Amino acid sequence: MIHRIVTIIATASGAIAVCSLGYYILCLYSAARFLGRGKAVGEGSRPTQSLPPVSILKPLKGTDPEMYQSFRSHCLQDYPEYEIIFGVSDAHDPAIGFVERLKAEFPEIPIRLMLCEKVLGANIKVSNLAQMLPEARYQHIVVNDSDIRIDANYLRSVAAPLSDHRVGLVTCLYRGVASASLGSRLESLFISTDFSAGVLVARLLEGGIHFGLGSTLAFRRSDLAATGGFEAMSDYLADDYEIGRRIAALGLGVELSGTVVETFLPCYDFKQFLNHQLRWARTIRDSRPGGYAGLVVIFGMPWALLALLCARGAGWAWVLLGVAIVMRYAVALVTGRMILQDPQVTRWLALIPLRDFVAAAVWLVGITGHTVTWRGESFELKDGKLVRMGAALHSPAGDGSSSKRPSE
């Protein structure tokens, strides 16, 4: 009886591992398609007259690694006209000092700081955005997270596609710059070798993407209003996903820019890393249950190793494991190095097996449960919305980040 069960497990895990090889092929093909199309819509040179004035909205909560340099990159744009509006919900937020320093260094840039005193929903970031938007001067809006660093052509790349009335949202891939801890490095590998590859596969299979990433949300004010505005999304954890989904539901395109931005990751210890990954897993499961179930095929190496162990070292299982390893590393290098241009990927290739086995365990745990912890406060997820379970342990939920990491 035990022998039969082990044989069934070997066959099932081997079959899933074969499906994983198919997924890896899709990753490589979708990456090639993305690279072949110049990595984006709107990367070409466009005349200055076609670039509309832009309001950049940056909600803040606390400080992030390299925060001032990330802020500073927004003041070095090769763009004719734009403003930056920062928003905080606490008059004593430590990020305020960085904003004041920025205003002093760049007096020529219209920079404003807003105190957002109302609480419009469980997601304080979106609550702040709803209060910041009426203060914006322009019709074209760019929202990105507080820890995002950009290059000088960023605004040109994300604003230009919106000159096409068929495009409703522009978003960006990103690479995670790790701190010194193991958890931070594993998080960086996840972003560069798993998450970004999955976005490109979704883009291929769904004929485009139908969601946004918190690294960048560029849109027209009128299109956001047609979705119900920020107020309608103030209880969602994956607010960036929801904004993109709602704009796509209007019949407008969501474009993935070729510009890759950077996010600077905290120095997670291993427990913090696991909690962060579990929060992401449950957020995705709530937002895209079908997509979450499909994640079973991304763990090629764990499934192939399980097949090898249960098949007692059979030749076919060794071949399957070898091919899975080669394909997994090919996806990591193509996505991480060629598309995201992330030098950390090659530096930490040896951590990919650990990353994959941990990810498989998190995925299994994430199938059940609805509780997430965000900035010291516990919530229950119901249809993607946050429901408070108790008083805050440290600070209000929400910050200048979102599910782009996904879900800080």
**Model confidence pLDDT, tens digit, residues 28-71:** 999 999 998 764 444 444 444 479 999 999 999 999 999 999 99
pLDDT at 382: 82
Cα 132 from Cα 116, distance rounded (Å)? 7
- Residue with structure tokens 């108790």? 390
pLDDT at 50: 78
Cβ atoms within 10 Å, residue 48: 10
Phi-psi region of 279 (alpha: psi -120 to 50; beta: other; left: phi over 0): alpha
Cα 108 from Cα 292, distance rounded (Å)? 46
Cα 259 from Cα 72, distance rounded (Å)? 18
Contacts of 58 (CB under 8 A, 6+ apart): 71, 74, 84, 85, 86, 87, 143, 144, 145, 146, 400
Q: Which neighbouring-strand residues pair with 256?
A: 171
pLDDT at 59: 96
Cα 188 from Cα 405, distance rounded (Å)? 9
| Gyration radius (Cα) of the chain, Å | 21
pLDDT at 157: 95
Q: Give the residue ranges of the chain where pLDDT is below 70.
A: 38-49, 375-376, 390-408
Cα 393 from Cα 258, distance rounded (Å)? 40
Structure tokens at 91: 């008059």
pLDDT at 376: 66
Cα 91 from Cα 166, distance rounded (Å)? 40
pLDDT at 338: 95
pLDDT at 192: 95
Cα 32 from Cα 24, distance rounded (Å)? 12
